[in-house]
Structure formats: C-alpha cells, structure tokens
C-alpha cells in the first residue's frame, strides 16, 4: 500500500475534532429543546401570550436542529460531504456572529472564533478525506 492511499484511510485529527464539535452542538440543541418543552406549559399559563404559547414550536425546531447536527457529526466521521458542508456553514456563521461580540466579551469571542477556525481548517484543509473513494 502506498503512502497516498494510506493517508486517505486514516481520519485526520481535526476532522475528528469537527465531528465532536457537531455532536456537542447537537447535545446543546437537544438540551435547549427539552428545556423549551418543559417550560412551554408553564410559560403559557403565566405569560398570557408573551410568546403566544408557542414555545413548543421552538422546541420542535431546536429538536430538528439537534438531529441535523448529530447526523452531520456522524457524516463527518464517515467522510460524507453533507457533514463537511454543514460543518463549514455552522462554523462560518459562528465565527461571523462572534466577531460582533468582540467588544462585549473579547476573551470568549476570541476563543470561539479560534475554535471555529480550527473546525474550518479541519474540514476544508482535509478535503481529500471527503472526496469520493474508488472501490478496491
């Protein structure tokens, strides 16, 4: 086996890091969805229409986002293009969003921007891992 085919078989470390970050995002989205489901009935009884009693709809939306993030993490681990594209989009939006937070919380913003840059580098710098492979 030559060096090129051997390097394509092993998953780069930053690609694994990006997949773990997608699983972490999915976990946070799932926790937020469960919180929204738990607070939907309480909020509808006490707020009298502040949210119109539709917090459960946001819970369903966050539950769908969690499912997509979990699938993207799985897809990144197996070398799928959907996971790569979804990871790049999420990391790009996150970096842009946290640039606006630099004046408010500079240390946290810099850390999150660096993590987003690592994810982007892992997914874009190792694009050969996501390329279709020829069957042996």
Would you state the structure tokens that stand for residue 80, as one six-digit string? 């799928």
The rounded percent of the chain whose pLDDT value lies above 70 is 79
Q: What is the DSSP letter of 128?
A: G
The Cα 119–Cα 89 span in angstroms is 10
pLDDT score of 1? 45
Would you state the structure tokens that stand for residue 4, as one six-digit string? 């090129």
Domain coordinates in residue numbering, the chain: 3-129
* pLDDT mean across residues, the chain: 83
Count the residues in the chain. 136
Would you state the structure tokens that stand for residue 133, as one six-digit string? 């492979």
The Cα 89–Cα 121 span in angstroms is 13
pLDDT score of 58? 80
Q: Where are the alpha helices (DSSP H) in the chain?
A: 3-9, 13-47, 55-78, 81-99, 106-125
- 């119109």: which residue's tokens? 52
Query: Is the separation of the CB atoms in 113 and 95 below 8 Å?
Result: yes
- Determine the distance from the C-alpha atom of residue 58 to the mean position of all C-alpha atoms in its chain, rounded to a whole number: 18
Q: pLDDT tens-digit profile of 52-79?
A: 557 778 888 889 988 999 999 999 999 8
**Is residue 41 over pLDDT 70?**
no
Largest CA distance in the chain: 68
């Amino acid at each position: 086996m030559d060096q090129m085919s051997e390097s394509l078989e092993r998953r780069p470390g930053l690609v694994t890091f990006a997949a773990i970050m997608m699983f972490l995002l999915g976990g946070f989205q799932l926790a937020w969805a469960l919180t929204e489901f738990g607070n939907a009935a309480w909020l509808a009884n006490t707020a009298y229409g502040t949210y119109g009693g539709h917090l459960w709809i946001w819970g369903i939306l966050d539950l769908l986002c969690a499912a997509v993030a979990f699938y993207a993490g799985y897809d990144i681990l197996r070398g799928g293009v959907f996971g790569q594209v979804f990871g790049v989009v999420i990391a790009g939006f996150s970096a842009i969003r946290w640039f606006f937070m630099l004046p408010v919380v500079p240390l946290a913003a810099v850390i999150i921007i660096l993590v987003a840059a690592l994810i982007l580098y892992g997914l874009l710098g190792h694009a050969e891992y996501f390329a279709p492979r020829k069957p042996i």
